[in-house]
Amino acid sequence: MLNHINELKKLISNERVTTNETMLEQHSRDESYHRPSLPDVVIFPESKEEVSKILAYANQHKIPVVPFGLGTSLEAHVIPYNGGISLDLSLMNQIVEIKEKDFLVKVGPGVTRTQLNKELKKYGLFFSVDPGADATLGGMAATNASGTTSVKYGIMRDQVRDLEVVLANGDIIHTGGLAAKSSSGYHLNGLMVGSEGTLGVITELTLKVYGIPEETMAARASFPSVDNAVDAVVSILSAGIPIARIELVDARSIKQVNQQLKTTYEESPTLFLEFHGNEAGLQQDVEFTKEIVHDLGCKDILFEIDSKARHELWEARHNLAYAFIHGSPGRKLMVTDVSVPLSELSNAIAHSRSEVDKLGLDGAITGHVGDGNYHVLLMVDLNNEEEMKLAQKFNQTIVQYAISKGGTCTGEHGVGLGKAKYQRLEHGSSYEVMKAIKKSLDPNNILNPGKIFVD
């Protein structure tokens, strides 16, 4: 590999091709529980031309290439299990153009969500997808991220108007355009978004943005049971109330937040809601929501419109993962991620709770229930083989349950390594079509090998 590294240094600036031990270690892991693995070299390209040169060389010599953003992924997407090149795109972090009249923005793949929204605020605009972590937009497109606002604005795939992508052989293509709609050709945007770096490397994104709403209101509502809370979600959506966020946090989660933050929230299933609109419309939405939730057994509901008060109200949801991490020293957070049709959500959550208790694991349930996506948070001891087997068994059980109900093994975290073994079960014969596409675009299997496909 040393000869290849020397040749790669000739393609781009020496100082941006590194085998520094600390840098290799930083690129050997993500935020998941999956075991780390070192790349042979880390390269920091600054342009699509440099990415093209690197991929063309890697393809010629069959060297694995794994794109890397900030390492916030949760299913080992960026871990280079076959060594090779970790392609860090963090230097490609320019906001290229803001087309405010078209509600579009062009950005490099290393631009983060927070960086973009800070700049968009000057134009009265914002980018809607909020996965929680301040991830890069290239990584968010690669995993088809979503998060808390997807119930109103849609997921990452819904925001992508065009991608500039470098293919395995170094060719540079565009997958869309600037028009709001098109009936021309195959939908390559949809193919590349969610491909997790296995089909190409994203070097520029054209994304939809939105006007900042005139008013934002938050609410927190507690219920006697998860069934009541989920029924309230369905009723709110059925009523056509333009809800922007609607999150479920179970009683175990609230208990953990109370322990860590010294708060006194009622330890019962809780919905966190956010409404976007104008002042008059929000008042109508609030009154309608009150009627709906009270009819479904809501024990208490609190509304806030002041920005500081809204932040405090959402505190339990935003700090949930950290409450578990800080409350379980020596353990690692394992977050499952399935999605089911709304009609199956109550039963799916009840099934998950039952399985957690049956296996003797300590788990909490939370989720973006407005679109049927929920997570179970498990704090696991990576060095305890028996506990890890139980956690993996639990993950497999809820994945199989979700798929049996017409759902999916991953609503937003992506496949990576952790969910690759469920792809054939979920997709059936379509799995072979996906493999054929991969083979066609990456015949030497250099792009993020070992991810999504296990055979």
pLDDT at 315: 80
pLDDT tens figures, 174-224:
999 999 999 999 999 999 999 999 999 999 999 999 999 999 999 999 999
400 belongs to a structural domain: yes
Q: pTM value?
A: 0.94
419 belongs to a structural domain: no
We report the CATH number of the domain holding residue 376 as: 3.30.70.2740
Is there a single domain that holds both residue 138 and residue 193?
yes
Is there a single domain that holds both residue 186 and residue 268?
no
196 belongs to a structural domain: yes
Is there a single domain that holds both residue 206 and residue 219?
no
Is there a single domain that holds both residue 140 and residue 155?
yes
pLDDT at 264: 87
- Provide the domain limits for residue 377: 328-411
Please, which residues have CB within 8 angstroms of residue 334's CB and are 6 or more apart in sequence? Answer: 32, 33, 377, 378, 379, 380, 391, 395
- Of the three residues 315, 349, 366, the one that is the final residue of a domain is 315
pLDDT at 188: 97
362 belongs to a structural domain: yes
Work out how many domains the chain is built from and give that number: 3
Asked if 41 and 18 touch (Cβ cutoff 8 Å), the reply is yes
Instruction: Please work out, in degrees rounded to the nearest 5, the angle formed at the alpha carbon of residue 188 by the alpha carbons of 182 and 190.
Output: 90
Ramachandran angles phi, psi of 186, nearest 5°: -70, 155
Pairing of strands 85-88, 41-43: parallel
54 belongs to a structural domain: no
78 belongs to a structural domain: no
- Of the three residues 167, 187, 211, the one that is the final residue of a domain is 211
26 belongs to a structural domain: no
Is there a single domain that holds both residue 276 and residue 237?
yes
The fraction of the chain above a pLDDT of 70, given in percent, is 100
pLDDT at 360: 92
Is there a single domain that holds both residue 205 and residue 219?
no
Is there a single domain that holds both residue 337 and residue 246?
no
Is there a single domain that holds both residue 115 and residue 195?
yes
- Of the three residues 164, 183, 211, the one that is the final residue of a domain is 211
Is there a single domain that holds both residue 181 and residue 99?
yes
Is there a single domain that holds both residue 106 and residue 141?
yes
292 belongs to a structural domain: yes
We report the CATH number of the domain holding residue 183 as: 3.30.465.10
Is there a single domain that holds both residue 363 and residue 347?
yes
pLDDT at 454: 87
Which portions of the chain are predicted below pLDDT 50? none
Please, which residues have CB within 8 angstroms of residue 143's CB and are 6 or more apart in sequence? Answer: 73, 77, 156, 194, 196, 412, 413, 414
Is there a single domain that holds both residue 293 and residue 234?
yes
pLDDT at 208: 98
pLDDT at 349: 94
